[in-house]
Chains A and B, each alone.
Chain A
Amino acid sequence: MRRFEVALPESLDECLRLLADRGPESKLLAGGTDLLPQMKNGVTTPKHVIDLSGVAQVHVLESDAKTGLRIGSAVPARQVELDARVRDGYAAIADAAALIGSVQVRNLASVGGNLCNAAPSADMAPPLLALEAQAVIAGPKGERRVPLSDFFTGVRKTVLAPDELLVEIVTPPPGPRSGGSYIRHTPRRELDIAVVGVASQVTLSNGVCAKARIALAAVATTPIRATAAEAALEGKALTPELIDRAADLAVQSATPISDQRGSADFRRHLVRVLTRRTLTTALARAGA
């Protein structure tokens, strides 16, 4: 690894001062499971690494019936995966957190790191997009909130400025009779990157779908929502035929590339299959 200095801030303010001072030459370190391999192979060569383990605000994991779920950016995926409140109220998030790497990786890998690394295939992105999460970002001018749908700006690019830090991700409560699911396709069951990932989140009311949110990973330069498919579901009973129709519409939102993980055609096929499966699971979890 190329040599660097490491800073160990003990508070958010100290961390922000460090970023203001040397942000462009710095990398924030949470779990390190993306950053360390990138530094080892020379893709990233920061002069300074700022370790977040001493910053309490990025380690919060709290759930409130009114304000929703707060996941500190440095909370490890494994903690999210095992949290009863996440599993019960935000199942799609728990689904995704359980899929990141091996248990050895999930005990380190953070939710915020998965988002800030901004791979189009990031597993945490689709469920958080489908749950309309917001990114809470701290910077020299204070705090700002950005809908996660505006957070990603390109492959490995986000709205974060060099002097800013993702503090936490806030997910509003989906409300009663809601259910969600995240499924990805990988050639191997473990330690693989999604060829396609799909999250669906539905809320039922009076026998019809009051709200539907569908998000896709690894089929565009950023994780995206499949809004046409969502619109087709809302206000209607979620019959298998309608779910098939939504799955077809979700494919239209995808603009996949062909690469070593799969062809564009295969990815479109996977969007259809995984949209159908996640909607079906989301519906069952909503208590239909």
Chain B
Amino acid sequence: MAKQILSSTINGEAVEVLVQPYETLLDALRETLGLTGPKEGCGTGDCGACTVHLDGKPVASCLMLAVQARGRSVTTIEGLSDNGVLHPLQDAFVRHGVPQCGFCIPGVLMAAAALLAEHPKPSEEEIRYGIAGNLCRCTGYTKMITAISEAAQAAAPRSA
């Protein structure tokens, strides 16, 4: 099995790495690139813990082969802040104490960032729908919705 060269833009940087043909994007991000923010919860696209942005759109990175990201731009939770300045969503999540165990949070933040890029002032219903693909086993949804709503009020969000 020949490894393939994967050329992508990852968190704003041009990256060239070797990946196995059968390697998922999530595994390449975590194992090869050391970006362990995206998590593997279910591995079947049900839990959303692996959510990253592909050309600005949220996708389940556990359901993609790494080679499918060739020539594309990938943003993980590690690329959401701007030179150490937290994204308004991250800031709101910290202030509201949203993370409990924290496992789902990188995926939730990436889903929420994509939501705000599309709907800068979402209704509660739109927020619930926007993070419907993310499971939190600590059941911390109420604080998530409060924090996302507050971040949307606080600032016109940047697209990630």
Name the residue on A nearest B50 (C-beta). A104
For window 121-154 of B, CB contacts with A under 8 Å fall at: 130, 132-134
Shortest Cβ distance from residue A93 to the other chain B in the assembled complex, whole angstroms: 20
Which residues on B sit within 8 Å (CB–CB) of A36? 24, 44-45, 62-65
For window 143-161 of A, CB contacts with B under 8 Å fall at: none
Known contacts A32-B63, A33-B45: does B58 contact A104 (CB below 8 Å)?
yes
Cβ of A241 < 8 Å from any Cβ of B? no
Contact between chains at B44 and A102 (CB < 8 Å): no
Contact between chains at B67 and A6 (CB < 8 Å): yes
Partner of B45, one of A29, A39, A104, A190: A104
Name the residue on B nearest A7 (C-beta). B21
Known contacts A2-B22, A4-B22, A53-B68: does B45 contact A107 (CB below 8 Å)?
no
Contact between chains at A37 and B44 (CB < 8 Å): yes
A101–B51 CA distance with the chains assembled, in angstroms: 14
Contact between chains at B21 and A190 (CB < 8 Å): no
A37–B67 CA distance with the chains assembled, in angstroms: 17
Shortest Cβ distance from residue B41 to the other chain A in the assembled complex, whole angstroms: 12
Name the residue on A nearest B42 (C-beta). A37
Interface centre among B2, B48, B58, B59 (most CB of A within 10 A): B59
Cβ of B16 < 8 Å from any Cβ of A? no
A39–B44 CA distance with the chains assembled, in angstroms: 10
Contact between chains at A103 and B130 (CB < 8 Å): yes
Partner of B60, one of A2, A104, A190: A104
Cβ of B14 < 8 Å from any Cβ of A? no
Contact between chains at A101 and B133 (CB < 8 Å): yes
Shortest Cβ distance from residue A53 to the other chain B in the assembled complex, whole angstroms: 6
Contact between chains at B59 and A190 (CB < 8 Å): no
Contact digits for B79-105, partner A, Cβ 8 Å, 1 yes 0 no:
000000000000000000000000000
Name the residue on B nearest A102 (C-beta). B133
A36–B25 CA distance with the chains assembled, in angstroms: 12
Contact between chains at A3 and B1 (CB < 8 Å): yes
Contact between chains at A49 and B21 (CB < 8 Å): yes
Interface size for A (C-beta < 8 A) is 29
Known contacts A103-B58, A103-B133, A104-B133: does B67 contact A8 (CB below 8 Å)?
yes
Which residues on A sit within 8 Å (CB–CB) of B63? 31-33, 36-37, 105, 108
Cβ of B43 < 8 Å from any Cβ of A? yes
Which residues on B sit within 8 Å (CB–CB) of A108? 59-60, 63-64
Cβ of A141 < 8 Å from any Cβ of B? no
Contact between chains at B64 and A104 (CB < 8 Å): no
Which residues on A sit within 8 Å (CB–CB) of B24? 1, 36
A2–B134 CA distance with the chains assembled, in angstroms: 27
Name the residue on B nearest A82 (C-beta). B118
Partner of B68, one of A32, A39, A40: A32
Contact between chains at B114 and A103 (CB < 8 Å): yes
Partner of B4, one of A6, A32, A37: A6
Known contacts A36-B24, A104-B48, A107-B59: does B1 contact A190 (CB below 8 Å)?
no
- A-B contacts, 21 of them at CB < 8 A, read A1-B22, A2-B22, A3-B21, A4-B1, A4-B21, A8-B67, A8-B70, A29-B68, A31-B63, A32-B64, A32-B65, A36-B62, A36-B63, A101-B45, A102-B133, A103-B111, A104-B111, A104-B133, A107-B58, A108-B59, A108-B64
Residues of B within 8 A of A (CB): 1-2, 4, 20-22, 24, 43-46, 48, 51, 54, 57-60, 62-65, 67-68, 70, 111, 114, 130, 132-134
Besides the contacts A36-B63, A49-B21, what 5 more A-B pairs have beta carbons closer than 8 Å? A5-B21, A37-B63, A49-B22, A104-B58, A191-B132
